[in-house]
Chain A
Amino acid sequence: MSLAKFPHFKRFIWSIYLIILGAVFIGAMGFPVSGASGQETSESIKGRLEIEDTEAQGPRKVFTPISGVRVTVSQDGREIGTATSDGSGEWSVGIPSRGTYQVRLHTDTLPTGITLTDAEKSELPNVLVDEGQSKTVRFNFGPGTRDTVSRLERISNLVLSGLRFGAIIAMCSVGLSLIYGVTGLVNFAHGELVTLGALVAYYLHTSAAGPQMSLLLAIVPTLIICGLFGASMEMGIWRPLRKRHTSLIALSLVSIGLGFVLRYIFAIVFGVEFRSYSDYSVQDPVDFGWVSIAPKNMLILIVSVMLLAAFGLFLMLTRTGVGIRAVASNRELASVSGINVEKVIMGVWILGTASTALGGIFLGISERLDWRMGLRLLLLMFAAIVLGGLGTAFGAMLGGFLIGLIVEVSTYWIDNEFKVVVGLAVLVLMLFVRPKGLLGYRERAA
């Protein structure tokens, strides 16, 4: 039987058990679960009516809420409910069950001077609502998208925003790349490590049940917790499987399953809605002439660059760093040269999860938190490490910044909805043209 062939079975089961138990424990103590915080659990259709302030400058669009507008939800001609948008432009209509609904905006209740960009879109005929879903629908207002910002300003803002996004991707993907380098594991659960960092910080910082420490202070324990989590995964799951010479495809399937487990624990514990940290959630951008950027994003960019540079120096100058690079480039050779490969792998897991968690916190500060934030970033992280060179730390850094830049700057020419596609297209093209990546090793031992 396979049990006999797998002496670490007990440890494996225990670690999975502990991971789940720990998460549920945090959940029970921590986030007020959806019901307790008075969140609606039934289906609804909601939205926020706002018009873009085309006079405002900066990388972020500024919106002015539109209040006092009536919205009606109906199903097959039967009216389900009506709502009027409040001071922040928000409206919400509760609906009885899942299904398809029609949402109509009463254009006669709009304030003068504001119209729908597409007059025919005052009624949305097919709004699908899933079970338990709170569906957000959008109406677009305004005199169209007039270009009030100069081209140079727009592109320089996009570049800056791309650098910020790239810094986050780089922070998150260094761990992914190094873990691949030292173990060969294509870790499809890496996105969940991003989410984990962001959510642990949310628990320590924002959650009513947590200690509510300041966000900057909360970063330290978050990184420690996540580093330990990485270490426990390595000890409980990956090392026993490696000892058993499990094939790489099986390892990647395990990571997929593990990703599912973690992700749905997040969904249960954290809920499925978007949230923000209570600190730094809204900041006015500061204008620097050509570019304007919120201070938090500026800080994220600077801190990330400094940390990545420090990490690079660590890899180049210290014994441990050289050991990591040696194992990543050729495990057997490193092993016979007297490097303790297992120790290096453990170090990479701890450092990798901690830096990924920090990237997750940065992503949460810069954008928003939800249970799938890491999954959404996963393929862009793959794009980054493939572009830079799978298995190398410097490749992941370079690739991260490049992908961030490409994704953001592409919106100058291409519609916003295609920006992830552009990043993935770069990934696919790179694989076809130069699979080893920009900084990759020429041929890695299989």
Chain B
Amino acid sequence: MDWIGITVAALRASVGPVAVAYALAGLGLNLQFGYAGLWNYGHVVAVAAGAYGAAIPLEAGATLMVGVLCGVAAALVVSLFLGVAALRLRLDYLAIATIAFGEIFRQVVRSNWAEPVTGGVFGIQQFARDFFDLNPISEGRYGWGDFSFDHRSLWLMIVGWTLIVIGVLAMYMLVHSPWGRTVRAIREDEQVARSLGKNVFFVRLQSFMIGSVFGAFAGVLLAFANNVNPDFYSLILTFWVYTALLIGGIGRVLGPVVGAVVFWFLFQWFDGFMQSSIAEGWYGNLLQTTDAGPFRFMLLGLILVLLVVLRPQGFFGDKDEALLDAS
């Protein structure tokens, strides 16, 4: 078995454009879930709103700036609507409401009815020409041996990692500001925060919407990297971002970034490992080559279970911030 090849491919995935998008989405989710304690199981709505919000005007011929702004605005509008409606609910109801809303969003954008605008089940392709025209890197592959990226991926990664650096700095300042302390105080005890004159609902709405902005940037980046396809934004995506977040650690500013990198490393490594071990006949005819995909998802599900049970604060998480821990 080509252990080095598998590991290099995994390393490539762990810093690639999709991992970057997961890190950005995770930053937002960390604010909502880790710091504010909101059970948002519909984070995918923000990501999808960002992607569609950017893709639709770009395809219609808007400039890149307008497209990206539209993506962020779409996520803000959707999260404002959802937040105003749902944030008054008890947390377990909030989880159900957000997950349902995410599925509504997906089913509407993939419908025939919306096809003239959203492209229906086909999604939207090749709208990111403006973005790649800005690419200063000349065509070719860059890197060492197998650990290399083409100019498009590299451009996406440069932009993405820059966004992550900005996002992490912004998040650090946010959570260490008086506002950030209010957010955490509300998570710990709503009544106490209220008695000190804080507007609990408004602060929650703010953190929900700011988290969605991060999700929107993730969506825009994903749209540039992979085109837009409605079935990519199923409720499952939210849960993978949760898994990545849990790996990295809840309530740590850098947690989601580390988590996304490790998640994508594992994802790709399991994939390579299962593909080659099945091809080499390790399991007889118990597993076929087509089972490699499902098997790696199964392993990641198992990781999610074991993480919550054994190390709820994640590998690098802050124990005091971990609201998953025994209460």
Contact = CB atoms under 8 A, between A and B. Distances in A.
Contacts of B125: 126
Interface stretch (A90-98, A105-113, A348-356, A424-432): A424-432
Interface string B295-320: 10110111111001111100000000
A214 interface: no
B320 to A, nearest CB: 15
A194 to B, nearest CB: 16
B93 interface: yes
Contacts of A186: 92, 95-96
A432 B86 contact: yes
Contacts of B303: 257
Interface in B87-120: 89-93, 95-97, 99-101, 103-104, 107-108, 111-113
B275 to A, nearest CB: 11
Interface in A392-446: 415, 417-418, 420-421, 424-425, 427-428, 431-432, 435, 446
A265 B298 contact: yes
A248 interface: yes
B324 A249 contact: yes
Contacts, number: 172
A14 interface: no
B242 interface: yes
A418 B111 contact: yes
B33 to A, nearest CB: 8
Contacts of A435: 89-90, 93
* Most A-side CB within 10 Å, residue of B91, B95, B97, B287: B97
Interface string B115-159: 000000010010000000000000000000000000000000000
Contact of A431 (B93, B122, B326): B93
A303 interface: no
Contacts of A209: none
B111 A261 contact: no
Nearest to B227: A128
A278 interface: no
Interface stretch (A47-55, A65-73, A239-247, A339-347): A239-247
A272 B295 CA distance: 13
B100 A424 contact: yes
Nearest to A385: B96
Contact of A386 (B96, B239, B301, B323): B96
Contacts of B243: 257
A16 B305 CA distance: 10
A203 interface: no
Chain A interface size, as a band, is 35 or more
A249 B91 CA distance: 9
A257 B90 contact: no
Contacts of A244: 326
A272 B85 CA distance: 37
A264 interface: yes
B297 A264 contact: yes
B100 A260 contact: no
A260 B285 contact: no
B322 to A, nearest CB: 9
B290 interface: yes
Interface string A219-243: 0000000000000000000000100
A435 B96 CA distance: 11
B45 to A, nearest CB: 12
A33 B288 contact: yes
Contact of A34 (B96, B288, B302, B304): B288
B268 interface: no
A379 B122 CA distance: 24
B104 A424 contact: yes
Interface in A231-288: 241, 244-250, 252-254, 256-261, 263-265, 267-268, 272
A260 B301 contact: yes
Interface in A96-132: 126, 128, 131-132
B285 A253 contact: no
B89 A431 contact: yes
A261 B101 contact: no
Interface stretch (A4-12, A154-162, A360-368): A4-12
B289 interface: yes
Contacts of A256: 239, 242, 301, 304
Given A128-B122, A267-B291, 13 more contacts: A9-B309, A132-B290, A132-B293, A246-B308, A246-B324, A247-B323, A249-B323, A250-B324, A252-B39, A267-B294, A272-B290, A417-B112, A432-B85
> What are the 5 closest A-B residue pairs judged by CB atoms, nearest first?
A260-B301, A257-B304, A257-B305, A264-B298, A267-B294
Interface of A: 2-3, 5-6, 9, 12, 16, 24, 27-28, 33-36, 41, 126, 128, 131-132, 184, 186, 241, 244-250, 252-254, 256-261, 263-265, 267-268, 272, 379, 382-383, 386, 390, 415, 417-418, 420-421, 424-425, 427-428, 431-432, 435, 446
14 contacts: A6-B310, A33-B288, A41-B288, A41-B290, A246-B327, A249-B95, A258-B305, A259-B301, A260-B298, A264-B295, A272-B294, A421-B104, A425-B104, A432-B86
